[in-house]
Structure 1
Amino acid sequence: MATVVQARWETASARTLVLDVQDWPGHLPGQHVDLRLTAADGYSAQRSYSIASSWRDGGPVELTVQRVEDGEVSSYLTDVVEPGQQLELRGPIGGWFVWRNTPAPVLLVAGGSGLVPLMAMIRARGDVRGRQPFRLVYSVRTPRDALYGAELARRVRDDPGLDVHHVYTRELPEGRPGRPGRLGVATLNTHGWPPDFAPDVFVCGPTVFVEAAADILIALSHDPTKIKTERFGGTA
Protein backbone atom coordinates (compact mmCIF):
# COMPACT_ATOMS: atom_id res chain seq x y z
CA MET A 1 0.00 0.00 0.00
CA ALA A 2 1.03 3.59 -0.61
CA THR A 3 0.02 6.71 1.30
CA VAL A 4 -0.29 10.01 -0.53
CA VAL A 5 1.86 12.51 1.38
CA GLN A 6 1.80 15.39 -1.09
CA ALA A 7 0.09 16.41 -4.34
CA ARG A 8 1.11 19.25 -6.64
CA TRP A 9 0.02 20.50 -10.03
CA GLU A 10 2.57 20.42 -12.85
CA THR A 11 0.17 21.87 -15.44
CA ALA A 12 -3.57 22.57 -15.48
CA SER A 13 -4.20 18.90 -16.27
CA ALA A 14 -1.21 17.03 -14.82
CA ARG A 15 -0.64 16.36 -11.15
CA THR A 16 2.26 14.77 -9.27
CA LEU A 17 1.42 12.48 -6.36
CA VAL A 18 4.18 11.93 -3.81
CA LEU A 19 3.76 8.51 -2.20
CA ASP A 20 5.14 6.87 0.90
CA VAL A 21 5.25 3.21 -0.14
CA GLN A 22 5.57 0.57 2.54
CA ASP A 23 8.78 -1.51 2.12
CA TRP A 24 9.71 0.21 -1.14
CA PRO A 25 12.88 -1.52 -2.46
CA GLY A 26 14.02 1.32 -4.69
CA HIS A 27 13.75 1.39 -8.47
CA LEU A 28 15.59 2.07 -11.69
CA PRO A 29 14.76 5.25 -13.64
CA GLY A 30 12.34 4.25 -16.37
CA GLN A 31 10.41 1.64 -14.38
CA HIS A 32 6.69 1.88 -13.68
CA VAL A 33 4.08 0.72 -11.19
CA ASP A 34 0.60 -0.76 -11.47
CA LEU A 35 -1.94 1.22 -9.49
CA ARG A 36 -5.35 -0.27 -8.62
CA LEU A 37 -8.45 1.58 -7.48
CA THR A 38 -11.29 -0.36 -5.88
CA ALA A 39 -14.77 1.10 -5.32
CA ALA A 40 -17.03 0.31 -2.39
CA ASP A 41 -19.11 -2.01 -4.57
CA GLY A 42 -16.03 -4.04 -5.46
CA TYR A 43 -15.46 -2.65 -8.95
CA SER A 44 -11.76 -2.13 -9.61
CA ALA A 45 -9.63 -0.57 -12.31
CA GLN A 46 -5.88 -0.84 -12.77
CA ARG A 47 -3.51 1.36 -14.75
CA SER A 48 0.25 1.55 -15.20
CA TYR A 49 2.10 4.78 -14.39
CA SER A 50 5.75 5.60 -14.90
CA ILE A 51 7.78 6.62 -11.88
CA ALA A 52 8.91 10.24 -12.08
CA SER A 53 11.26 10.25 -9.10
CA SER A 54 14.90 9.26 -8.99
CA TRP A 55 16.12 5.91 -7.66
CA ARG A 56 16.36 6.61 -3.94
CA ASP A 57 15.90 3.48 -1.85
CA GLY A 58 12.90 3.71 0.43
CA GLY A 59 11.18 6.45 -1.56
CA PRO A 60 9.28 8.66 -1.67
CA VAL A 61 7.84 7.59 -5.01
CA GLU A 62 6.47 10.24 -7.35
CA LEU A 63 3.90 9.63 -10.09
CA THR A 64 2.90 12.37 -12.50
CA VAL A 65 -0.57 11.70 -13.87
CA GLN A 66 -1.97 13.41 -16.96
CA ARG A 67 -5.75 13.75 -16.87
CA VAL A 68 -7.33 12.06 -19.89
CA GLU A 69 -10.80 13.01 -21.08
CA ASP A 70 -13.27 10.43 -19.73
CA GLY A 71 -10.40 8.63 -17.98
CA GLU A 72 -11.87 7.10 -14.84
CA VAL A 73 -8.54 6.49 -13.08
CA SER A 74 -6.57 9.54 -14.23
CA SER A 75 -9.48 11.88 -13.38
CA TYR A 76 -9.69 10.42 -9.90
CA LEU A 77 -5.96 10.76 -9.32
CA THR A 78 -5.78 14.34 -10.58
CA ASP A 79 -9.05 15.75 -9.23
CA VAL A 80 -10.08 13.70 -6.20
CA VAL A 81 -7.14 12.11 -4.37
CA GLU A 82 -5.77 14.11 -1.43
CA PRO A 83 -2.86 13.66 1.00
CA GLY A 84 -3.57 11.02 3.59
CA GLN A 85 -5.39 8.66 1.26
CA GLN A 86 -4.05 5.19 0.55
CA LEU A 87 -3.59 3.63 -2.88
CA GLU A 88 -2.96 0.02 -3.85
CA LEU A 89 0.30 -0.15 -5.74
CA ARG A 90 2.48 -2.91 -7.19
CA GLY A 91 6.03 -2.45 -8.40
CA PRO A 92 8.55 -1.47 -9.46
CA ILE A 93 8.01 -3.17 -12.82
CA GLY A 94 10.19 -3.37 -15.91
CA GLY A 95 13.87 -3.90 -16.62
CA TRP A 96 14.35 -3.00 -20.29
CA PHE A 97 13.33 0.66 -20.63
CA VAL A 98 15.69 1.78 -17.87
CA TRP A 99 18.85 3.83 -17.51
CA ARG A 100 21.60 2.16 -15.47
CA ASN A 101 24.16 4.96 -15.12
CA THR A 102 26.24 3.74 -18.05
CA PRO A 103 28.92 6.05 -19.51
CA ALA A 104 27.40 6.44 -22.99
CA PRO A 105 25.77 9.70 -24.11
CA VAL A 106 22.00 9.66 -23.77
CA LEU A 107 19.31 11.03 -26.08
CA LEU A 108 15.82 11.36 -24.60
CA VAL A 109 12.87 12.00 -26.92
CA ALA A 110 9.53 12.67 -25.24
CA GLY A 111 6.04 13.46 -26.41
CA GLY A 112 3.64 14.98 -23.85
CA SER A 113 3.49 13.01 -20.62
CA GLY A 114 6.02 10.60 -22.11
CA LEU A 115 8.53 12.84 -20.38
CA VAL A 116 7.74 11.24 -16.99
CA PRO A 117 10.07 8.18 -17.08
CA LEU A 118 12.72 10.24 -18.89
CA MET A 119 12.54 12.83 -16.11
CA ALA A 120 13.38 10.05 -13.67
CA MET A 121 16.55 9.46 -15.70
CA ILE A 122 17.45 13.15 -15.68
CA ARG A 123 16.90 13.33 -11.93
CA ALA A 124 18.92 10.15 -11.33
CA ARG A 125 21.83 11.56 -13.33
CA GLY A 126 21.66 14.72 -11.26
CA ASP A 127 21.60 12.78 -8.00
CA VAL A 128 24.80 10.90 -8.84
CA ARG A 129 26.36 13.97 -10.50
CA GLY A 130 26.77 11.97 -13.67
CA ARG A 131 29.06 13.22 -16.39
CA GLN A 132 27.31 11.46 -19.25
CA PRO A 133 26.05 14.11 -21.69
CA PHE A 134 22.24 14.09 -21.82
CA ARG A 135 20.08 15.67 -24.49
CA LEU A 136 16.31 15.92 -24.20
CA VAL A 137 14.05 16.74 -27.14
CA TYR A 138 10.57 17.34 -25.73
CA SER A 139 7.47 17.77 -27.91
CA VAL A 140 4.34 19.40 -26.45
CA ARG A 141 1.36 21.26 -27.85
CA THR A 142 1.90 24.60 -26.12
CA PRO A 143 4.23 26.05 -23.46
CA ARG A 144 1.42 25.59 -20.92
CA ASP A 145 1.46 21.83 -21.50
CA ALA A 146 5.14 21.32 -20.70
CA LEU A 147 5.86 19.30 -17.56
CA TYR A 148 8.57 20.22 -15.05
CA GLY A 149 9.37 23.50 -16.82
CA ALA A 150 11.03 25.29 -13.92
CA GLU A 151 12.98 22.22 -12.81
CA LEU A 152 14.28 21.51 -16.31
CA ALA A 153 15.44 25.11 -16.65
CA ARG A 154 17.23 24.86 -13.32
CA ARG A 155 18.87 21.56 -14.23
CA VAL A 156 20.09 22.90 -17.57
CA ARG A 157 21.73 25.69 -15.57
CA ASP A 158 23.11 23.56 -12.73
CA ASP A 159 23.69 20.06 -14.17
CA PRO A 160 26.66 20.25 -16.58
CA GLY A 161 26.12 18.34 -19.80
CA LEU A 162 22.31 18.48 -19.85
CA ASP A 163 20.65 20.15 -22.85
CA VAL A 164 16.91 20.54 -23.42
CA HIS A 165 15.09 21.51 -26.61
CA HIS A 166 11.32 21.97 -26.75
CA VAL A 167 9.22 21.33 -29.86
CA TYR A 168 5.81 23.05 -29.86
CA THR A 169 3.20 21.61 -32.19
CA ARG A 170 0.41 24.21 -31.78
CA GLU A 171 1.68 27.38 -30.12
CA LEU A 172 5.14 28.86 -29.63
CA PRO A 173 6.30 30.76 -26.55
CA GLU A 174 6.05 34.51 -26.90
CA GLY A 175 9.08 35.87 -28.72
CA ARG A 176 10.25 32.55 -30.14
CA PRO A 177 10.75 32.78 -33.91
CA GLY A 178 9.41 30.27 -36.39
CA ARG A 179 6.19 28.32 -36.55
CA PRO A 180 4.74 25.46 -34.51
CA GLY A 181 5.29 22.04 -36.02
CA ARG A 182 5.75 18.38 -35.36
CA LEU A 183 9.00 16.68 -34.53
CA GLY A 184 10.95 16.15 -37.73
CA VAL A 185 14.25 15.01 -39.19
CA ALA A 186 15.86 18.43 -38.94
CA THR A 187 15.07 18.74 -35.22
CA LEU A 188 16.52 15.37 -34.24
CA ASN A 189 19.48 15.88 -36.57
CA THR A 190 20.24 19.25 -34.96
CA HIS A 191 19.36 18.66 -31.32
CA GLY A 192 20.04 14.93 -30.98
CA TRP A 193 23.40 13.19 -30.95
CA PRO A 194 25.20 12.16 -34.15
CA PRO A 195 24.90 8.40 -34.66
CA ASP A 196 28.70 8.13 -34.55
CA PHE A 197 28.49 8.95 -30.83
CA ALA A 198 26.51 5.70 -30.31
CA PRO A 199 24.12 7.22 -27.76
CA ASP A 200 21.65 5.27 -25.68
CA VAL A 201 18.26 6.48 -26.94
CA PHE A 202 15.00 6.44 -25.00
CA VAL A 203 11.75 7.46 -26.74
CA CYS A 204 8.45 7.72 -24.87
CA GLY A 205 5.03 9.11 -25.74
CA PRO A 206 1.87 8.29 -27.69
CA THR A 207 2.20 5.39 -30.11
CA VAL A 208 2.17 7.48 -33.30
CA PHE A 209 4.79 9.86 -31.89
CA VAL A 210 7.09 7.05 -30.77
CA GLU A 211 6.90 5.24 -34.10
CA ALA A 212 7.62 8.44 -36.04
CA ALA A 213 10.56 9.40 -33.82
CA ALA A 214 12.07 5.91 -33.99
CA ASP A 215 11.75 5.88 -37.79
CA ILE A 216 13.50 9.25 -38.01
CA LEU A 217 16.34 8.10 -35.79
CA ILE A 218 16.87 4.96 -37.86
CA ALA A 219 16.79 7.05 -41.04
CA LEU A 220 19.52 9.20 -39.49
CA SER A 221 21.61 5.99 -39.13
CA HIS A 222 21.21 5.43 -35.40
CA ASP A 223 21.70 1.82 -34.35
CA PRO A 224 18.21 0.30 -33.89
CA THR A 225 19.50 -1.88 -31.06
CA LYS A 226 20.35 1.27 -29.09
CA ILE A 227 16.84 2.74 -29.40
CA LYS A 228 14.47 1.80 -26.61
CA THR A 229 10.83 2.82 -26.88
CA GLU A 230 7.86 2.96 -24.57
CA ARG A 231 4.43 3.98 -25.74
CA PHE A 232 1.09 4.59 -24.15
CA GLY A 233 -2.51 4.87 -25.26
CA GLY A 234 -6.00 3.70 -24.50
CA THR A 235 -8.09 4.35 -21.40
CA ALA A 236 -6.56 6.14 -18.43
Structure 2
Amino acid sequence: MTGSTIGWFTGTLVRARPLTASARSITFTVPGWPGSDAGQHVDVRLTAPDGYQAVRSYSIADSGPGEEVELAVERLPDGEVSPFLVDDLEPGDTVDLHGPLGGWFVWRPDRTRPVQLIAGGSGVVPFVAMTRAHARAGSNVPMRLLYSVRTPDDALFRDELSRPSPAVTTTWHYTRAVPPGWPRAAGRLTAEAVKSAVPAPDQGPLTYVCGPTGFVESIARTLLGLGHVPDTIRTERFGGI
Protein backbone atom coordinates (compact mmCIF):
# COMPACT_ATOMS: atom_id res chain seq x y z
CA MET A 1 0.00 0.00 0.00
CA THR A 2 1.28 3.46 -0.85
CA GLY A 3 0.23 4.97 2.45
CA SER A 4 -0.47 3.46 5.86
CA THR A 5 -2.92 6.04 7.22
CA ILE A 6 -6.63 5.37 6.89
CA GLY A 7 -8.90 8.09 8.20
CA TRP A 8 -11.29 10.91 7.39
CA PHE A 9 -9.93 13.73 5.25
CA THR A 10 -11.36 16.91 3.76
CA GLY A 11 -11.23 17.01 -0.03
CA THR A 12 -11.60 20.23 -2.01
CA LEU A 13 -12.78 19.89 -5.60
CA VAL A 14 -10.13 21.25 -7.98
CA ARG A 15 -11.13 19.74 -11.34
CA ALA A 16 -14.24 18.25 -12.91
CA ARG A 17 -15.00 17.05 -16.41
CA PRO A 18 -17.85 15.10 -18.00
CA LEU A 19 -17.21 11.49 -18.98
CA THR A 20 -20.66 10.70 -20.37
CA ALA A 21 -24.07 12.36 -20.27
CA SER A 22 -24.56 10.90 -16.79
CA ALA A 23 -21.03 10.53 -15.40
CA ARG A 24 -18.30 12.90 -14.30
CA SER A 25 -14.65 12.78 -13.26
CA ILE A 26 -14.06 14.78 -10.08
CA THR A 27 -10.61 15.43 -8.64
CA PHE A 28 -10.01 16.62 -5.09
CA THR A 29 -6.95 17.96 -3.37
CA VAL A 30 -6.75 16.21 -0.01
CA PRO A 31 -4.19 17.52 2.53
CA GLY A 32 -2.55 14.63 4.37
CA TRP A 33 -3.74 11.99 1.90
CA PRO A 34 -1.34 9.01 2.17
CA GLY A 35 -1.65 7.84 -1.44
CA SER A 36 -3.40 4.71 -2.66
CA ASP A 37 -2.92 1.47 -4.58
CA ALA A 38 -4.65 0.84 -7.89
CA GLY A 39 -8.07 -0.68 -7.15
CA GLN A 40 -8.72 0.92 -3.78
CA HIS A 41 -11.78 3.02 -2.96
CA VAL A 42 -13.00 5.75 -0.62
CA ASP A 43 -16.15 6.55 1.29
CA VAL A 44 -17.60 9.94 0.42
CA ARG A 45 -19.66 11.66 3.13
CA LEU A 46 -22.02 14.55 2.45
CA THR A 47 -23.60 16.57 5.25
CA ALA A 48 -26.81 18.55 4.71
CA PRO A 49 -27.46 21.89 6.45
CA ASP A 50 -29.81 20.12 8.89
CA GLY A 51 -27.04 17.69 9.86
CA TYR A 52 -28.28 14.70 7.86
CA GLN A 53 -25.38 12.69 6.47
CA ALA A 54 -25.13 10.25 3.57
CA VAL A 55 -22.10 8.06 2.84
CA ARG A 56 -21.33 6.16 -0.36
CA SER A 57 -18.28 4.28 -1.63
CA TYR A 58 -16.52 5.11 -4.90
CA SER A 59 -13.50 3.59 -6.61
CA ILE A 60 -10.43 5.77 -7.06
CA ALA A 61 -9.56 6.33 -10.72
CA ASP A 62 -5.82 6.78 -10.12
CA SER A 63 -3.20 5.66 -7.63
CA GLY A 64 0.23 6.41 -6.22
CA PRO A 65 1.57 9.13 -3.92
CA GLY A 66 0.38 12.71 -3.81
CA GLU A 67 -2.54 14.61 -2.36
CA GLU A 68 -4.99 14.40 -5.27
CA VAL A 69 -7.84 11.89 -5.45
CA GLU A 70 -9.76 11.36 -8.68
CA LEU A 71 -13.17 9.69 -8.62
CA ALA A 72 -15.55 8.91 -11.45
CA VAL A 73 -19.22 9.01 -10.50
CA GLU A 74 -22.24 7.93 -12.51
CA ARG A 75 -25.54 9.61 -11.67
CA LEU A 76 -28.25 7.26 -10.44
CA PRO A 77 -31.80 8.67 -10.76
CA ASP A 78 -32.87 7.89 -7.20
CA GLY A 79 -29.50 8.50 -5.60
CA GLU A 80 -28.81 10.64 -2.55
CA VAL A 81 -25.14 11.27 -3.30
CA SER A 82 -24.36 10.65 -6.97
CA PRO A 83 -26.67 13.36 -8.42
CA PHE A 84 -25.04 16.00 -6.23
CA LEU A 85 -21.51 14.88 -7.16
CA VAL A 86 -22.33 14.78 -10.88
CA ASP A 87 -24.57 17.85 -11.22
CA ASP A 88 -24.00 20.25 -8.33
CA LEU A 89 -20.51 19.99 -6.87
CA GLU A 90 -18.41 22.99 -7.94
CA PRO A 91 -14.66 23.76 -7.73
CA GLY A 92 -13.87 24.93 -4.22
CA ASP A 93 -16.61 22.82 -2.62
CA THR A 94 -15.53 20.29 -0.02
CA VAL A 95 -16.54 16.75 0.92
CA ASP A 96 -15.36 14.29 3.55
CA LEU A 97 -13.33 11.33 2.29
CA HIS A 98 -12.54 8.17 4.24
CA GLY A 99 -9.77 5.95 2.99
CA PRO A 100 -7.94 4.63 1.17
CA LEU A 101 -9.90 1.40 1.65
CA GLY A 102 -9.46 -2.15 0.40
CA GLY A 103 -6.43 -4.40 0.06
CA TRP A 104 -7.73 -7.45 -1.80
CA PHE A 105 -8.95 -5.85 -5.02
CA VAL A 106 -5.67 -4.12 -5.89
CA TRP A 107 -2.93 -4.48 -8.48
CA ARG A 108 0.68 -3.52 -7.85
CA PRO A 109 3.46 -3.24 -10.44
CA ASP A 110 5.62 -5.84 -8.67
CA ARG A 111 3.15 -8.58 -9.67
CA THR A 112 4.23 -10.76 -12.57
CA ARG A 113 1.14 -12.80 -13.48
CA PRO A 114 -0.88 -11.89 -16.60
CA VAL A 115 -3.85 -9.70 -15.69
CA GLN A 116 -7.40 -9.82 -17.04
CA LEU A 117 -9.78 -6.99 -16.12
CA ILE A 118 -13.52 -7.43 -16.78
CA ALA A 119 -15.76 -4.40 -16.24
CA GLY A 120 -19.46 -3.74 -16.47
CA GLY A 121 -20.48 -0.09 -16.84
CA SER A 122 -18.93 2.20 -14.23
CA GLY A 123 -17.16 -0.84 -12.80
CA VAL A 124 -14.30 0.17 -15.08
CA VAL A 125 -13.11 2.91 -12.70
CA PRO A 126 -10.67 0.82 -10.58
CA PHE A 127 -9.34 -0.67 -13.82
CA VAL A 128 -8.50 2.79 -15.13
CA ALA A 129 -6.33 3.15 -12.03
CA MET A 130 -4.71 -0.21 -12.77
CA THR A 131 -3.98 0.55 -16.43
CA ARG A 132 -2.50 3.91 -15.44
CA ALA A 133 -0.31 2.29 -12.77
CA HIS A 134 0.78 -0.32 -15.31
CA ALA A 135 1.79 2.39 -17.80
CA ARG A 136 3.64 4.52 -15.23
CA ALA A 137 5.64 1.52 -14.07
CA GLY A 138 6.57 0.53 -17.64
CA SER A 139 5.37 -2.95 -16.76
CA ASN A 140 5.78 -5.74 -19.30
CA VAL A 141 3.14 -7.88 -17.60
CA PRO A 142 0.33 -8.58 -20.11
CA MET A 143 -2.83 -6.73 -19.08
CA ARG A 144 -6.17 -7.06 -20.87
CA LEU A 145 -9.43 -5.21 -20.30
CA LEU A 146 -12.83 -6.55 -21.37
CA TYR A 147 -15.27 -3.65 -21.03
CA SER A 148 -19.02 -4.28 -21.36
CA VAL A 149 -21.24 -1.21 -21.75
CA ARG A 150 -24.73 -0.56 -23.06
CA THR A 151 -23.71 1.76 -25.90
CA PRO A 152 -20.51 3.54 -27.02
CA ASP A 153 -21.78 6.75 -25.41
CA ASP A 154 -21.99 5.02 -22.02
CA ALA A 155 -18.28 4.18 -21.85
CA LEU A 156 -16.33 5.99 -19.13
CA PHE A 157 -12.79 7.12 -20.07
CA ARG A 158 -13.52 5.98 -23.61
CA ASP A 159 -10.81 8.04 -25.34
CA GLU A 160 -8.17 7.01 -22.83
CA LEU A 161 -9.02 3.31 -23.03
CA SER A 162 -9.21 3.41 -26.84
CA ARG A 163 -5.68 4.74 -27.32
CA PRO A 164 -3.26 2.12 -28.67
CA SER A 165 -1.04 0.71 -25.96
CA PRO A 166 1.87 -1.73 -26.29
CA ALA A 167 1.07 -3.38 -22.97
CA VAL A 168 -2.69 -3.04 -22.36
CA THR A 169 -5.33 -4.41 -24.73
CA THR A 170 -8.98 -3.29 -24.52
CA THR A 171 -11.81 -5.40 -25.91
CA TRP A 172 -15.17 -3.61 -26.17
CA HIS A 173 -18.54 -5.31 -25.79
CA TYR A 174 -21.89 -3.56 -26.30
CA THR A 175 -25.17 -4.83 -24.92
CA ARG A 176 -27.73 -2.44 -26.49
CA ALA A 177 -26.22 -0.57 -29.44
CA VAL A 178 -22.96 -0.87 -31.38
CA PRO A 179 -20.86 1.68 -33.31
CA PRO A 180 -21.33 1.90 -37.09
CA GLY A 181 -19.64 -1.01 -38.83
CA TRP A 182 -19.14 -2.99 -35.63
CA PRO A 183 -18.65 -6.67 -36.52
CA ARG A 184 -20.91 -8.11 -33.80
CA ALA A 185 -24.51 -7.47 -32.85
CA ALA A 186 -25.35 -5.96 -29.48
CA GLY A 187 -26.22 -8.46 -26.77
CA ARG A 188 -25.30 -9.78 -23.39
CA LEU A 189 -21.78 -10.90 -22.63
CA THR A 190 -21.89 -14.64 -23.30
CA ALA A 191 -19.57 -17.39 -22.10
CA GLU A 192 -18.27 -17.71 -25.66
CA ALA A 193 -17.44 -13.99 -25.79
CA VAL A 194 -15.65 -14.19 -22.44
CA LYS A 195 -13.68 -17.24 -23.53
CA SER A 196 -12.51 -15.53 -26.71
CA ALA A 197 -11.39 -12.39 -24.85
CA VAL A 198 -9.56 -13.73 -21.79
CA PRO A 199 -6.38 -15.81 -21.42
CA ALA A 200 -6.84 -19.55 -20.99
CA PRO A 201 -6.68 -20.86 -17.42
CA ASP A 202 -3.36 -22.62 -18.11
CA GLN A 203 -1.78 -19.19 -18.67
CA GLY A 204 -2.39 -18.46 -14.99
CA PRO A 205 -4.04 -15.03 -15.27
CA LEU A 206 -5.15 -13.05 -12.24
CA THR A 207 -8.66 -11.87 -13.12
CA TYR A 208 -10.47 -8.88 -11.64
CA VAL A 209 -14.22 -8.41 -12.18
CA CYS A 210 -16.11 -5.23 -11.23
CA GLY A 211 -19.64 -4.04 -11.92
CA PRO A 212 -23.24 -4.51 -10.80
CA THR A 213 -23.88 -7.55 -8.61
CA GLY A 214 -25.68 -9.57 -11.30
CA PHE A 215 -22.92 -8.88 -13.83
CA VAL A 216 -20.15 -9.85 -11.42
CA GLU A 217 -21.84 -13.07 -10.34
CA SER A 218 -22.53 -14.09 -13.94
CA ILE A 219 -18.95 -13.45 -15.05
CA ALA A 220 -17.52 -15.26 -12.01
CA ARG A 221 -19.65 -18.33 -12.80
CA THR A 222 -18.55 -18.18 -16.43
CA LEU A 223 -14.88 -18.02 -15.48
CA LEU A 224 -15.24 -20.99 -13.14
CA GLY A 225 -17.02 -22.90 -15.89
CA LEU A 226 -14.11 -22.19 -18.22
CA GLY A 227 -11.72 -23.74 -15.70
CA HIS A 228 -10.29 -20.71 -13.94
CA VAL A 229 -9.27 -21.38 -10.34
CA PRO A 230 -11.41 -19.59 -7.71
CA ASP A 231 -8.49 -17.98 -5.90
CA THR A 232 -7.34 -16.32 -9.15
CA ILE A 233 -10.64 -14.44 -9.50
CA ARG A 234 -11.11 -11.21 -7.55
CA THR A 235 -14.50 -9.53 -7.58
CA GLU A 236 -15.92 -6.21 -6.48
CA ARG A 237 -19.57 -5.21 -6.70
CA PHE A 238 -20.86 -1.67 -6.69
CA GLY A 239 -24.25 -0.27 -5.98
CA GLY A 240 -23.81 2.90 -3.91
CA ILE A 241 -26.20 5.71 -4.78
Q: Decide: shared fold, TM above 0.5.
A: yes
Match of residue 7 from structure 2 = none
Q: State TM-score, norm by structure 1.
A: 0.96
Aligned to 1:227: 233
Take 2:67 and 2:127, find their aligned partners in 1: how far apart are those partners?
18
From 83, 86, 91, the equivalent of 2:91 is: 83
Gaps of 5+ in 1: none
- Distance in 1 (CA, whole Å) between partners of 2:14 and 2:232 is 37
| Equivalent residue for 1:30, pick from 20, 30, 39 | 39
Residue 152 of structure 2 corresponds to which residue in structure 1?
143
1:164 aligns with 2:164: no
**Residues 87-106 of structure 1 mapped to structure 2, 5 A cutoff:** 87-101=95-109, 102-106=111-115
Q: Does 1:72 align with 2:80?
A: yes
Counterpart mapping for 1:40-59 below 5 A: 40-53=49-62, 55-59=63-67
Deviation at 1:119, TM superposition (A): 1.0
Q: Which stretch has the larger CA shift, 160-169 or 108-117?
A: 160-169
Contact 2:45 2:53 (C-alpha < 8 Å) held by counterparts = yes
Q: Distance in 1 between matches of 2:55 and 2:150?
A: 28
- Asked whether the equivalents of residues 37 and 64 of structure 2 are also in contact (C-alpha less than 8 Å), the reply is no
Deviation string 1:171-218 (CA, Å, 9 cap, x unpaired) is 011111231111111111111111111111000000000000000001
Q: Offset at 1:162?
A: 1.1
> What residue number does 1:153 align with?
162
Provide the C-alpha distance between the structure 2 equivalents of 1:59 and 1:130, rounded to a whole number of angstroms. Answer: 24
Equivalent residue for 1:133?
142
Q: What is the rounded CA distance, in whole Å, between the counterparts of 1:92 and 1:17 in structure 2?
A: 16
SS at match of 1:188: helix
Distance (whole Å) between structure 1 residues aligned to residue 166 and residue 181 of structure 2: 26
Residue identity matched to 1:192? V
Give 1:68 deviation, angstroms: 0.4
Equivalent-residue separation in structure 1 for 2:67 and 2:137 (angstroms)? 16
Does structure 1 retain, via aligned residues, the 8 Å contact 2:119–2:209?
Answer: yes
Correspondence for 1:193: 199
Aligned residues: 231
Shift of the alpha carbon at 1:118? 1.1
Counterpart CA distance in 2 for 1:162 and 1:178 is 22
Measure how far apart 1:59 and its partner are: 3.2
Letter in 1 for 2:118: V
Structure 2 segments unaligned to the other structure (5+ residues)? 1-9
Whether 1:184 and 2:190 are equivalent positions in the alignment is yes
Mapped partners of 2:61, 2:184: distance in 1: 31
TM-score by length of structure 2 reads 0.94
User: Which residue type is aligned with residue 222 of structure 1?
Assistant: H
Q: Distance in 2 between matches of 1:51 and 1:93?
A: 10
